[in-house]
Structure 1
């Protein structure tokens, strides 16, 4: 790690999961970018005190509560508002956090911007679940509003099956009390696509093979939720979609959308359906750039990220000098 002194401007990585940091830190080290970690797992801040100098990059994950960090979302909100109030350079700031932790926020923002999204009913608590489920065609799926890791994703082929789930001990209560009922989409082919953006610009698109039911976040027939105990083989799951370029109409539209939402680093997942639709269904503002994905691409999003953060840090340091 490039270790800055206490008063040296640095890239501060706000996160709650140590396991995600090594590849990102390695890219920053390779680019010679000074960086520190800022755990979203406790501590304190003085709102009247000036924050340290540098660039602050938020990597809050919607699934933080599954790792015992149920208050990371609230900590990120407070810290980012504090940093922004002092005029600090924040990458994926407070507006991005609200998209990260709410699929309802993602879908409403995407729809307002002109994108088609999966038909989704948002249910608060459990009282309306059964009644609203009867408004959807069968089959349908459930998922958690604050999700990630396939939280709450289940397919239901009958209303009797769904009613028993809602009333039974296996019901998965979402951390924010919000369950999504969503159309079950049939994809044209057994894959989904994830487009990566750094600094608001497209880097690459990766096709994810879902034929074995390995992509559990996807609300589509091709993305069947794995059976209990099933283990997906990582080999061969990814390939770069070179035909999805910076000039692709969806990519151009997504760049404009991310800029409007204040999201500078993102992975946007979408699928092409059997009935001819292209549906974005998940916006990830905490992209990890796994080695398996980076190995099949002609470009490195991790390296692009390090260059972007390094350039932002250099600009901040020049102003402070």
Structure 2
């Protein structure tokens, strides 16, 4: 048994992480999600397991592993493994509604939101939010499952025609459309609940925002720029990471152009880091991640 196992689903995103581990001589077992597990088994693949499970998995495979992993991580944790971004973090990652409740409980601003489980309830919820608004899937990924509506008539027509976004858990968010200042959102990455780096992301309409290399497509208008957020935003991101039990993860915030209020709206337990980090940041966050993984391995021995 190696000291480290990495469970991943995307075939390309984690090549840089594996390369960084190889450079450092850190042995690991790479596990895809295509296997069965025995719920009576009392063993685990390694004392330390790193989850690299993306909520966007359902976009790549209808038979996605998101809910399967909830039981798998619980099984490994009962067997004594330290699962980084394990069951507690996954519970937050798999629910935007839960994320917003957690953020609001910390006294931080969020977009006005209503949570429903029936499409027919969306118009009534929208009446309490106002227009323009967005309807979001509770479980999304890479901007999937988000639609903007500018009027009640437009929304009612979408409901009648069955054209609302859908979520794999059947839950929808009806949310105020926040005009992000300068069309920019800030993604703050954390490692072990502490600030790691931040980037401003522009050009994605605040929906289609993905920093991974595999998300960069020819002709994309999305730009990513390293920034140093204000101290209060860094502290807020760290508080969210702590409350969400994120061993590794990103927090997204935008400045509401109407009133200048920072509104936090997303917690992402999959940090595949920015594309071309040496160009954007001037350093590679995978090296910092490997440093911490080595520390975690030592703590589990």
Q: Secondary structure at the match of 1:79?
A: helix
Moved over 4 A (4+): none
RMSD: 2.0
In structure 1, the partner of 2:110 is: 117
In structure 2, the partner of 1:221 is: none
In structure 2, the partner of 1:268 is: 251
Is 1:216 paired with 2:200? no
Higher mean C-alpha displacement, 121-130 vs 70-79: 70-79
In structure 1, the partner of 2:288 is: 304
**What's the CA shift string for 1:86-117, capped at 9, x where partnerless?**
22121111010011111001000111111111
Q: Separation in 2 of the partners of 1:301 and 1:112? A: 30
Q: Secondary structure at the match of 1:57?
A: strand
In structure 2, the partner of 1:227 is: none
In structure 1, the partner of 2:271 is: 287
Please state how far the C-alpha of 1:30 moved relative to its aligned partner. Answer: 2.0
TM-score using structure 1 length: 0.84
Q: Secondary structure at the match of 1:280?
A: strand
Higher mean C-alpha displacement, 132-141 vs 90-99: 132-141
Q: Separation in 2 of the partners of 1:256 and 1:171? A: 33
Please state how far the C-alpha of 1:163 moved relative to its aligned partner. Answer: 0.9
**What's the CA shift string for 1:260-319, capped at 9, x where partnerless?**
331110111111122110111111101111333552113432111111112211332xx3
Please state how far the C-alpha of 1:169 moved relative to its aligned partner. Answer: 4.7
Q: Secondary structure at the match of 1:189?
A: helix
In structure 1, the partner of 2:19 is: 26
Please state how far the C-alpha of 1:172 moved relative to its aligned partner. Answer: 2.9
Q: Separation in 2 of the partners of 1:25 and 1:299? A: 17
Is 1:253 paired with 2:232? no
In structure 2, stretches of 5+ residues that fail to align are 210-217
In structure 1, stretches of 5+ residues that fail to align are 1-6, 219-229
Equivalenced residue count is 292
Please state how far the C-alpha of 1:217 moved relative to its aligned partner. Answer: 4.5
CA contact (8 A) 1:41 1:69 kept: no
In structure 2, the partner of 1:149 is: 142
TM-score using structure 2 length: 0.90
Q: Secondary structure at the match of 2:128?
A: coil
